[in-house]
Chains A and B, each alone.
Chain A
Amino acid sequence: MRSLSFVRLLAKDFRELLASRAFWLLLVFVGLLVGHGFITAVALYAEMSGAGGPAALPQGLTSLDGVLVPTWGAYDLAATLLFPFVAIRMVSSEKESGALKLLLQLPGTLAAKLTAKALVLLFAWLIAWVPGIAAILLWRSYGGHVYAPETLNLLLGHLLRGLLSGALGVAAAALAESAASAAIITLAFTVGTWALDFVAAGRGGFVQQLASYTPTAALRSFEQGLLRLNAVVVIVLVSCAAFAFAAIWLNSGRAIVERLLRVLLLVVIAAGAVWGGANLRATRDVSENRRNSFSVVDEAALRRIDQPLKITVLLSPEDPRLTDFEQNVLRKLRRALNKVTVEYAAGSRTGLFEGADEHYGEIWYELGGQKIVERSTIEEVVLEQIYKLANVDAPERSDDDAFPGYPLAAQPKYAAAIFYLFWPVLVIVTWWLSRR
C-alpha cells in the first residue's frame, strides 16, 4: 500500500513536471546552448587539427578538452540558471496554490513526498541530457574519438551538478514564501560560491578546501578527468541535507522553534558527515592522457618517499605561474604523496607590487629537515628537487608512451539542423501533445 502511494505521488509529480513551463523552456534552451557549444567546439577542434592549413596544435588534442567539455558546459549554465527554476516550481506551485495543505495530509511521510520530487527532478535532468548525448553520438559519427572512462566521469560530474542544483532549488522553495524569493535565494547562493571561488584561489588552508566543493570547482575536477571520491560524497551529502531541510521546513504543523532546532541538528550531522567525506582521499585519474598524474615511473619513485613534504610558495593568487604550478604540479603531488602541505606566503593578491621583495617568486621545498629553493614551476624541475631532498634516484623517463592526441578536421554536419531546428520543434510538439 505504501509503495503504491509512493508510485501515485511520483506520477503526480511527473504530471506536474510536464505541466511546468520552466521544464519545457529548460529543454529548448539547453538544446540551443549545447548546439552552439558543439558547433563552435568542433569547428575550433578542426582548426587546431590543421584543417585548411598547417596543423597548429594537433599533438595532444583530446576530445574531452576540445569537444566534450565545451559542449557539456551548456549543462553547467543550465544547472546554474535554468534547472533551479524547475526545482523551485515543483515546491512553490504547491505552496502558493494551497495544494501543499492537501499534500501534507496525503498518505506517506514528507520525506517520501520529497523523495518523489527528487526522483522526478533527476528524471527531468536526464531528459535534458538528450541534446548532450546526441552531441557525443554526432562526434562519434564524424570519426571523433571518445574515451569512455573520462566521458562517463564527465557525465557523473554533471549528474551531481544537477542533483545539487535541484536540491538547493527545493530547499530554497521550502524556505521562501514565493517562487520569486526562492529564485533570489538560489541566485545568492550561486553568486556566493563564485565569490568563494575567487577569494579562495591560491589562499590555501580551509578556505581553499571549502572552495574545492563549490559546484563550479567540483565540476572542474570531473572535466579534467579526475574522479574525486570526496567530491562525490560531499555533493551527495549536501544534496541530501538540502532535501532533508525542505522536509523539516515544509512541516508547517511544527512550531518555528522546533523546526529551527531540527535544522540545527541536521546542520551538525551534515557538517560532521561532510567533514568526514571531505577527508576521503581516494581519487582516480580516468583521463586518457593521465593529465592528473605524473608518469608511471615518477609515481613509483614518489611512493618511496614517506616523509612529509612542505612547500612554501611565494607567488600571489593571480600570478599565472601559480596557476601553472597548481595545475601541473601541486594537483598531481597531492595525489602522489601522502603528506603534502602547501603554504601560500605571498603578501598581495596580484603580485604587481611585490617587486621590492627579493624572495617573490621563490618556492621552498622542505623534507626531512632539509630545505631547498627553486623558482621553476616546470614539473620535471620540481620533481628533480624533491628527489634530491628525499635522496631518491630520479627515474628514467621515456617518451614511448606519450599521449598522441586525436586530431580531427571534421565539420559539424547536421548539427545546426538537429540542435537549432529539430530539437526545439520536437520539444514544442511534445509539450503541445502533453497539454492535450
Chain B
Amino acid sequence: MLLTVDGLTKTFGSRRVLSDVSFNVGTGEVLGLIGPNGAGKTTVLECLAGLLPTNAGTLTYRGRPLPLSRRKEALFYLPDTIVPWAQQTVKWALGFFQKLYARTPERIAELAGPLRLTEIQQSRVATLSKGERKRTLLALGLLTPHPLLLLDEPFDGLDLRQTRDVMTLLRAESATGRTLFVSIHQLNDAAKVCDRLVLLNAGQCVAEGTLAELKTQANLTDGGLEEIFLALT
C-alpha cells in the first residue's frame, strides 16, 4: 500500500464532519472518493494534505508514519474552486510550477494539448472561465512530481468532451505509476475513471473496493454505481 489512512476524525467546533475514516490507497491506482455534497470529501483531502488539523487518525506512507512536516514530500493536493495568482497569466503559472519542480518545458507542451491550454496561455487567471480555470489547475497539479496526487472534483466545470480528455490524461498519468486520489460527486464519471472507490457518507466511510466488490457489499447483482450508492447510504 502506498498510503493507509486509519481513524481519521475531524470536528469543526461541536460538529463532527469526519468520523473514524479509514481506507487504503494502492500504488499506481486511481482511487475515487465519492459521496454526496457535504459528505466530507474535501475535508478528507485537506486533512491528508496537512492543510487542516485532524482530531484523530494516522497516516502511514509506504509502511512508515507520515508526519505533518513530511506530507508535502509525499503528496500534492489540488483544491477545487481556487483562483491562484489571479493577476498572472496562465503561461506564468505553468512556468512557475515547471521551474519550481525542475520539470522540462516539454512537460508543459505535453499537458497543453489534452487540456487545451494553448489558446489561453496569455490570459490572466482571473479572466478564465470555470472550465479553463479547472484545466489550468489540473495542469499545475500534473506538473508536480509527487508520487500521490489528490484532486478535488477534477471534472467539475468541464464539458463532456473535456471530461473525456481529462479522464484519458489521468489514466495515462496513472499508467506511469503515479497514484491519483480523486474526489468526485458525479458517480458516472467516477465509475469510468477509477480503479477502486471509497464511499463516504455523512463523514463516515461506508464502503471501499472495486465496482464489483461494492456491488457485493451492497448485495446487488445488477446496476451501476448509482444503485450501489443508494443501497449503501
Contact = CB atoms under 8 A, between A and B. Distances in A.
B109 interface: no
A253 B140 CA distance: 22
A252 B140 contact: no
Interface residues of B, number: 27
Contacts of B77: 101, 105
Given A102-B140, A252-B52, A97 B88 contact: no
B49 A97 contact: no
A16 B101 CA distance: 20
Interface in B89-146: 92, 96, 99-102, 140
Interface string B41-58: 000001001111100000
Contacts of B83: 97-99
Contacts, number: 72
A15 B101 CA distance: 19
Contacts of B51: 101, 104-105, 252-253
B57 to A, nearest CB: 13
B123 to A, nearest CB: 13
Contacts of B86: 93, 97
A64 B46 CA distance: 56
B85 A16 contact: yes
A98 B96 contact: no
Given A98-B79, A105-B76, A255-B53, A8 B99 contact: yes
B84 interface: yes
B96 A97 contact: no
Interface string A3-37: 00100110010011001000000000000000000
B97 to A, nearest CB: 9
Given A16-B87, A98-B83, A102-B82, A254 B96 contact: no
A275 to B, nearest CB: 32
Nearest to A101: B79
B140 A19 contact: no
A106 B50 contact: no
Contacts of A15: 85, 88, 92
B168 interface: no
B79 A253 contact: no
Nearest to B140: A102
Nearest to B68: A253
A107 interface: yes
B50 A97 contact: no
B72 interface: yes
A99 B85 contact: yes
B85 A98 contact: no
B81 interface: yes
A98 B52 contact: no
A105 B82 contact: no
Contacts of A105: 49, 51, 71-72, 76-77
Contacts of B84: 94, 97-99, 102
Nearest to A104: B51
Contact of B87 (A19, A101, A102, A107): A19
A97 B99 contact: no
Interface in B1-57: 46, 49-53
A211 to B, nearest CB: 39
Interface in A72-105: 93-94, 97-99, 101-102, 104-105
A254 B68 CA distance: 9
Nearest to B85: A99
Contacts of A254: 53, 68
Contacts of B76: 105
Interface string B184-217: 0000000000000000000000000000000000
A106 B82 contact: no
Contact of B50 (A19, A102, A253, A256): A253
A187 to B, nearest CB: 25
A352 B159 CA distance: 79
A1 B101 CA distance: 9
Interface string A159-175: 00000000000000000
Contacts of B72: 104-107
Contacts of A256: 53
B165 to A, nearest CB: 23
B100 A98 contact: no
A12 to B, nearest CB: 6
Interface of A: 1, 5, 8-9, 12, 15-16, 19, 93-94, 97-99, 101-102, 104-107, 252-256, 258
12 contacts: A1-B102, A8-B96, A9-B100, A93-B86, A94-B84, A97-B82, A101-B46, A102-B84, A104-B72, A253-B50, A253-B52, A253-B71
Closest 6 CB pairs of A and B: A98-B82, A99-B84, A19-B87, A253-B50, A255-B53, A97-B83
